[in-house]
Chains A and B, each alone.
Chain A
């Protein structure tokens, strides 16, 4: 754990560069340790077993040691994401033979969405937002408002509204989509 403290202020790129120059494992170790929570969570999502996920985290680390030198890595985080995800998918392919088709519909649209919510000094936008919020169902509206304007977490919303967590998530997801469609339509016309 001492290592973790030592390299606390180093950026990903610095650690990666040092590992490239010296081939000393502690640099890569310190770097990878930062992402263990993310990688482990990702592995849990795909492999659904704690032991499998733990093994996968260590295997991915071994894979990195081999791969890092062979790739030009611009952004370690996104690169690691694809390496880790591919590792898990390969395991699934081996064990299950076939892969479920992953439907990833929330592709980086949220930035744009948050921009829509930023209505400072834009009366047009503000009007549109208020109008569109009213077109949502009561639950969707409540969840969207709590989440995006009151900055409540999912857990807060669950506690205060009494909706189940999965419901809250889908209200926010769907509310967000409907709201965006509605606003884009109004602002473009």
Chain B
């Protein structure tokens, strides 16, 4: 019986028992059976569907190529499309930069603007004075057109410098319209046009993506986009300072007043030193190969040394005999044992071990003296 037949519901007899017993040893099979048993449904036809898909999959190669070709052509289209868009961008970008300026016109310009009807405020984003005239009719035909003309609107074709003026003019106009417009929806104070925009670039003028820009002394800040541009989420005063930073570059402070805000960062010359991570794990005594001797803090004298020998000294070196060595030595001014002489010993191995113990022991606390000792371990 195959596993598939088992799934189908033929679950009787020795063969079924064989599969079930096999499942006890085989987590894969066991999980699968549990799965089939726990979920109701037509599992057999699902299996056939899946098998068909997998076994037919070698044809996918050719189909995949077709899909790739389709994807590529779509990409091309998007590419050309965005090229056109990009070419138009400079034109549309100018007024945006210009809109940063209107604040200079009057300190209360912001309040004024909140009173600007939607249709007019929208025209502030356009540098073409023509649209001003077009947009105004729904408001109040006569007064506005008159006053708009009185404002001496610049020529339709404008240079970037002139756009500063034109961007400012709607604001002034709105002041005159104040109180005279009724029944129109008011734009909220959240006009994006007044938020500070700028760009962060590296030493070569390449845009820095994800650089942080912060208004000094506040927690107002922004992060640059894929083209290096940022826009602050709030309006900030002209006297504020911006701090831009990027990993591996030195932070830089600039005045907001220097427009357009373009911040060039220099690479940080200080290189980071490597970081060494040290981990420690407590060890169980039984897992440690070798010996661990706990030294009473501070003192190490004759008594401690005898204890040390008992703990560390190799046992049964001289067969039946006790390992006993009489030794004399000097303790240097650094606390090490020097000039070791073995006076008496039970066997050669014991004297070698005694020398080893002396040379490996902790530093003696009382220095500059002569010691004669009988060690036993």
Which A residues have a C-beta under 8 Å from some C-beta of B? 1, 3-4, 24-26, 29-30, 32-33, 36-46, 48-50, 53-54, 57-58, 61, 77-78, 80-81, 85, 104, 106, 108, 110-111, 114, 147-148, 151-156, 159
Contacts and interface: CB of A to CB of B under 8 A. Distances in A.
Given A4-B51, A26-B58, A111-B25, A38 B14 contact: no
Determine chain B's interface SS by DSSP, over half rule.
Answer: helix
Interface in B18-52: 18-21, 24-25, 27-36, 38-39, 41, 43, 46-47, 49-52
Nearest to A23: B61
Given A30-B55, A50-B41, A156-B16, 12 more contacts: A3-B55, A25-B57, A29-B56, A33-B51, A33-B55, A36-B51, A37-B47, A40-B47, A41-B7, A42-B32, A110-B25, A155-B11
13 contacts: A4-B51, A29-B56, A33-B51, A44-B38, A45-B34, A50-B43, A53-B39, A57-B50, A58-B53, A80-B28, A154-B11, A155-B11, A156-B16
A33 B14 CA distance: 26
B73 to A, nearest CB: 24
Contacts of B46: 40, 50, 53-54
B54 interface: yes
A85 B31 CA distance: 10
B254 to A, nearest CB: 43
Contact of B27 (A37, A44, A46, A104): A104
Contact of A48 (B24, B38, B52): B38
A49 B55 contact: no
A53 B32 CA distance: 12
Nearest to A27: B58
Contacts of A1: 51-52, 55
Contacts of B56: 29
Contacts of B15: 153
Secondary structure call for the A interface: helix
A42 B39 contact: no
B41 A37 contact: no
Contacts of A104: 27
Contacts, number: 131
B16 A155 contact: yes
A153 B20 contact: yes
A153 B13 contact: yes
Given A37-B47, A48-B38, A42 B28 contact: yes
Interface of B: 3-4, 7, 11-21, 24-25, 27-36, 38-39, 41, 43, 46-47, 49-58, 60-61
B39 A48 contact: yes
A45 B27 contact: no
Residue among B7, B30, B47 facing the most chain A CB atoms (10 A cut-off): B47
Contact of A54 (B49, B57, B58): B49
Contact of A42 (B18, B31, B49): B31
A151 B60 contact: no
B54 A38 contact: no
A106 B24 contact: yes
A41 B32 contact: yes
Given A38-B28, A42-B35, A44-B39, A25 B20 contact: no
Nearest to B34: A45
Given A36-B54, A81-B28, A108-B25, A41 B13 contact: no
A156 B33 CA distance: 17
Contacts of A54: 46, 49-50
Contact of B35 (A4, A45, A114): A45
A147 B24 CA distance: 12
Contacts of B11: 153-155
B302 to A, nearest CB: 52
A54 B50 CA distance: 7
A178 to B, nearest CB: 15
A46 B20 contact: no
B53 A46 contact: no
A61 B57 CA distance: 10
A37 B7 contact: yes
Given A37-B7, A38-B29, A156-B17, A25 B58 contact: yes
B50 A44 contact: no
Considering the complex of A and B, which 10 residue pairs feature the smallest CB-CB distances, nearest first? Answer: A41-B32, A45-B35, A44-B35, A153-B16, A155-B11, A41-B35, A25-B58, A110-B24, A81-B28, A26-B58
A151 B51 contact: no
B38 A38 contact: no
Contacts of B14: 151, 153
Nearest to B19: A153
